C-alpha cells in the first residue's frame, strides 16, 4: 500500500515519472514500486528498506527539506533548501550513485547518523559547512569512483576493493579521512583536497597509494589492534605534518624519516626501525614535550629534537627519558639532540662485561648543520629509565629489562658510557626510584648530571665482572680424525645420545668447584662435547688452592661457554690481576699456562688458545698433536686418565697401568656417562683402553694439585 499525504499539492504521473509539487510531504509506510524517477520537492519519510531506480530531492528555496533515511539505488540532490538528515535510527545509503549538484546544495547531517555510499560518488554540495562533524562512508564491495568539489567533514574508507579519486583535485575534507579498510588511490592530478589541519586516520587494513593534496599541513593518527607500517600519509615535505597521535596498540613502524612539527602523543609503541639494518628517524621540531600514555609506550629507535629549550628537561623517547641544558652557557654549539633507544636489547658491544639492564642507548649532540658537537664543549643532564616490572594483568614478563642478577639491586644502578673498550660509570647518577603514581613500579628511573659526550650508553652496575673467559680447548679423546688437513672438530656423541648431564656431576674435577651451585645448563645442544673446569691460579708451579674455579661447557670447536647463557663466561668475584689458567677434564690430563694472563677489563677481548701448544707449562709436550690444518698445528689434552673415577684413589693426574686396568674391567658399558669412556662416544670398549696405552708414558700432569 502507498499512502501519500499532499499539503496543497497536485500529484501527477507522467511517462513513468512521479512529481510531488511544492509544498508537499511524501510519507510512505508501504512500498513504492518505481521504474523511473521519483522527484521530491517537500519533506520525505519512507519506511521501506530500499527504493529502486532514481530518487531526486529538488526543493529550491531558503527552507529546509527532510530527507528520508533509507537505501536508494541512486539518489540526487539539487536546490537551495537545506537537506536535513536527522534520523538517528539509520543512515542514508546509496548503492549505485550519490550525487549533489553544486555548492548551493547544503546538507545538515546529525552527528548520530551518516551517509553511506556503496557505489559512485559525485559530490559538489556542502555537508555541515562550518562544522567538523558529518560522516560520509565509502563501503562498496567493488572499487568505488569518487569525484567532485564538495565539502565532506569526515570521509571513511571501508572498502576492501579500494576507492579511486577521479576528475581532478576536488573533494574537500574538513576534519579527516579515515582509512579503515582498502586503499584510497589518488594522483597529483586526481586527489582529495585536505583542508588546513585536517587529519588522516589509519588502521592496518587501510592505506594510501600516494600523497594527498593538502593546505599547508595535516595531522596523522594511527589506531586499531594490529601492527601498522607507515605510508604516504606521512608526506615528504618536512613541514607537512603538524600532529601525530599513535594509538595503534600493536605498534607502528616508520618506513621513512618523519618530521612532526607541533605535537606528539604516544599511547602505544612507535618503532623507527623496520629491522636491524633499516633505520629511520623521527624528527620532532616543536618545543612542546611529547605526551606518553599510561603503562608502556615509547619510541623504539631514533628520535631527534631540533627546537631546543634551555633550562628545562626536554622529554625524549619515553616518559622517563629527557635531556636538559641547564643554562645558555652550557649549550655550546648544540642545536639538536638525538637519542636512539632500544628496549629489550643487550647494550653493544656484547663483549663488555659489566652487568647491565637490557636497554641500549645512543646519544648524539648535533650542530645546526648536523655535525657531531665535540665532547666537553657542552653540559647536560640526562634522565633515563628502564622497565623493571610488568603489569601482570596486561603484559607478559618478557617486557622486563632487569636481568636476574640485578633484581633487588636496582638502587645500585648508574648510567654507563662506552669508553676505551668497556662501559664505565659516567656523570653523576642519582639513586634510581619509581613514581608514587606507578602502582606496579613498572618503570625504574633516575638522572645523571654532567653529560658532555655523544656515544653509546647503558644502565648497570659500576662494579662487578672484570673479564670474559674467551678460550679454546680440544680433547684428544673426542677427535674422530687426526693428521694433515683435518679440521679440528670434536665429536658430540654424548650430547646426541642425551648422556651429558645438565648439571656437572660431583666427580673429579667438577667436585673441586666449591661454589658449584648446581650450574644447570640452559640446554645441552648438539654442539656440546662435555663439561670442563678452568682454574685461576696465582702460581703455575706450586700446589695451593685456586683463586677461582669455573665449571663450563665445551663445544665441538673448542669454545668454553657459560651453562646459563651459552656465551663466554663472565668472570667476577676476583680481583683484577695476572693469573695462570688451568683446564681440567674428567678423563684427560690437565694443562696450565706458564705465561700469566692479564684478567682485567682492559684485556677483555683476549682469547686464551690452549690449542696452540705455546705459553704452557711443559709446552706442546704437555698435549697431544691433534691435526695440522690451514697452515698451523692443533694440540689437545691427552686422553686416558681415569683416576677420578674411583673415590678411594687420590687423584694423581697421571696415566699408568691402573688407568688401563680400570677401563678393561669396565669395558662393555653402554649408554652411560662414564669416566672410563675416554673417547667420549657413550660406550666403553678397547678403543678407550687404547688411549691410556698410547699415553702410558705420561707419568704426571704438569698442573699442581
**Inter-axis angle of helices 657-665 and 686-694, to 10 degrees?**
180
Closest CA to 138 of 90, 97, 191, 84: 97
Closest CA to 294 of 443, 98, 465: 443
pLDDT confidence of residue 699: 63
pLDDT confidence of residue 436: 66
Under 8 Å between Cβ of 560 and 469: yes
Task: State pLDDT tens for residues 645-679.
Answer: 454 445 557 888 989 999 999 988 999 999 999 99
Going by C-beta distance under 8 Å and a sequence separation of 6 or more, which residues neighbour residue 388?
Answer: 400, 401, 402, 410, 434, 441, 442, 443, 444
CA distances to 480, 489, 676 from 692, in Å: 16, 21, 10
pLDDT confidence of residue 405: 84
Closest CA to 30 of 13, 51, 9: 51
Distance separating alpha carbons of residues 536 and 578, to the nearest angstrom: 9
Going by C-beta distance under 8 Å and a sequence separation of 6 or more, which residues neighbour residue 208?
Answer: 179, 183, 184, 186, 200, 202, 231, 232, 233
The alpha-carbon radius of gyration of the chain (Å, integer) is 39
Say whether pTM exceeds 0.75: no
Task: State pLDDT tens for residues 451-480.
Answer: 999 999 999 988 777 888 999 999 999 998
Distance separating alpha carbons of residues 139 and 152, to the nearest angstrom: 16
Residues of the chain where predicted confidence (pLDDT) is lower than 50: 1-22, 517, 645, 647-649
Domain ranges of the chain: 308-464, 467-636, 654-694
Distance separating alpha carbons of residues 643 and 276, to the nearest angstrom: 51
pLDDT confidence of residue 393: 76
Going by C-beta distance under 8 Å and a sequence separation of 6 or more, which residues neighbour residue 463?
Answer: none
Amino acid at each position: 500500500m502507498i499512502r501519500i499525504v499532499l499539503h496543497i499539492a497536485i500529484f501527477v504521473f507522467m511517462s513513468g515519472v512521479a512529481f510531488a509539487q511544492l509544498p508537499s510531504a511524501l510519507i510512505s509506510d508501504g512500498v513504492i514500486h518505481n521504474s523511473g524517477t521519483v522527484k521530491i520537492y517537500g519533506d520525505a519519510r519512507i519506511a521501506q528498506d530500499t527504493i529502486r531506480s532514481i530518487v531526486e530531492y529538488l526543493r529550491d528555496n531558503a527552507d529546509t527539506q527532510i530527507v528520508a533515511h533509507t537505501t536508494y539505488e541512486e539518489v540526487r540532490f539539487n536546490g537551495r533548501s537545506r537537506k536535513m538528515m536527522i534520523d538517528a535510527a539509520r543512515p542514508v545509503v546509496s548503492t549505485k550513485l550519490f550525487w549533489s549538484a553544486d555548492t548551493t546544495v547544503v546538507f545538515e547531517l546529525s552527528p548520530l547518523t551518516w551517509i553511506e555510499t556503496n557505489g559512485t560518488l559525485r559530490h559538489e554540495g556542502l555537508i555541515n559547512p562550518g562544522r567538523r562533524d558529518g560522516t560520509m562512508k565509502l563501503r562498496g564491495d567493488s572499487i568505488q569512483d569518487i569525484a567532485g568539489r564538495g565539502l565532506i567533514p569526515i570521509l571513511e574508507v571501508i572498502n576492501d576493493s579500494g576507492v579511486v579519486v577521479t576528475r581532478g583535485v576536488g573533494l574537500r575534507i574538513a576534519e579527516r579521512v579515515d582509512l579503515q579498510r582498502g586503499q584510497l588511490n589518488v594522483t597529483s592530478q586526481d586527489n582529495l583536497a585536505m583542508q588546513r589541519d585536517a587529519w588522516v586516520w589509519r588502521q592496518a587494513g587501510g592505506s594510501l597509494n600516494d600523497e594527498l593534496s593538502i593546505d599547508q599541513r595535516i595531522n596523522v593518527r594511527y589506531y586499531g589492534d594490529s601492527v601498522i607500517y607507515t605510508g604516504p600519509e606521512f608526506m615528504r615535505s618536512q613541514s607537512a605534518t603538524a600532529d601525530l597521535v599513535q594509538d595503534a596498540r600493536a605498534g607502528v613502524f616508520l618506513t621513512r624519516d618523519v618530521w612532526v612539527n607541533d605535537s606528539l602523543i604516544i599511547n602505544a609503541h612507535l618503532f623507527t626501525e623496520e629491522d636491524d639494518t633499516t633505520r629511520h628517524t623521527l624528527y620532532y621540531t616543536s618545543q612542546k614535550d611529547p605526551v606518553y600514555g599510561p603503562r608502556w609506550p615509547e619510541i623504539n629507535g631514533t628520535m631527534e629534537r631540533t627546537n631546543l629549550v634551555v633550562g628545562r628537561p626536554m622529554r625524549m623517547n619515553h616518559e622517563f627519558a629527557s635531556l636538559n641544558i641547564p643554562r645558555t652557557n652550557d649549550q655550546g654549539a648544540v642545536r639538536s639532540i638525538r637519542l636512539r633507544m632500544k628496549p629489550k636489547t643487550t647494550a653493544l658491544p656484547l663483549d663488555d662485561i659489566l652487568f647491565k639492564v637490557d636497554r641500549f642507548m645512543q646519544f648524539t649532540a648535533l650542530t645546526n648543520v648536523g655535525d657531531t658537537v665535540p665532547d666537553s664543549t657542552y653540559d647536560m643532564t640526562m634522565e633515563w629509565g628502564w622497565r623493571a616490572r610488568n603489569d601482570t594483568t596486561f603484559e607478559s614478563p618478557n617486557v622486563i629489562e632487569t636481568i636476574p642478577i640485578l633484581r633487588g639491586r636496582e638502587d645500585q644502578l648508574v648510567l654507563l658510557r662506552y669508553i676505551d673498550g668497556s662501559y664505565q660509570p659516567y656523570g653523576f647518577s642519582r639513586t634510581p626510584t619509581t613514581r608514587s603514581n606507578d602502582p606496579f613500579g613498572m618503570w625504574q628511573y633516575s638522572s645523571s648530571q654532567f653529560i658532555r659526550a655523544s656515544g653509546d650508553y647503558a644502565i648497570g652496575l659500576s662494579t662487578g665482572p672484570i673479564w670474559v673467559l674467551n678460550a679454546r680447548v680440544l680433547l684428544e679423546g673426542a677427535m674422530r680424525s687426526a693428521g694433515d688437513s683435518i679440521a679440528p672438530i670434536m665429536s658430540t656423541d654424548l650430547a646426541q645420545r642425551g648422556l651429558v648431564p645438565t648439571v656437572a656431576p660431583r666427580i673429579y674435577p667438577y667436585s673441586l668447584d666449591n661454589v658449584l651451585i648446581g650450574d644447570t645448563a640452559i640446554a645441552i645442544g648438539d654442539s656440546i662435547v662435555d663439561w670442563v673446569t678452568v682454574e685461576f691460579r696465582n702460581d703455575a708451579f706450586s700446589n695451593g688452592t685456586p683463586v677461582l674455579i669455573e665449571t663450563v661447557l665445551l663445544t665441538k670447536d673448542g669454545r668454553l661457554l657459560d651453562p646459563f647463557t651459552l656465551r663466554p663466561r663472565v668472570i667476577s668475584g676476583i680481583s683484577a690481576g695476572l693469573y695462570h689458567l688451568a683446564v681440567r677434564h674428567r678423563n684427560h690430563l690437565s694443562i696450565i699456562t706458564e705465561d700469566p694472563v692479564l684478567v682485567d677489563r682492559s684485556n677483555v677481548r683476549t682469547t686464551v688458545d690452549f690449542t696452540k701448544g705455546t705459553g704452557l707449562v711443559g709446552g706442546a709436550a704437555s698435549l697431544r698433536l691433534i691435526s695440522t690444518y690451514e697452515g698451523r698445528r692443533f694440540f689437545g689434552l691427552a686422553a686416558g686418565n681415569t683416576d677420578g673415577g674411583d673415590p678411594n684413589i687420590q687423584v694423581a693426574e697421571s696415566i699408568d697401568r691402573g688407568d688401563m686396568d680400570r677401563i678393561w674391567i669396565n669395558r662393555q658399558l653402554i649408554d652411560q656417562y662414564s669416566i672410563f669412556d675416554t673417547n667420549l662416544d657413550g660406550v666403553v670398549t678397547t678403543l678407550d683402553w687404547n688411549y691410556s696405552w698410547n699415553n702410558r708414558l705420561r707419568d704426571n700432569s704438569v698442573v699442581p694439585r
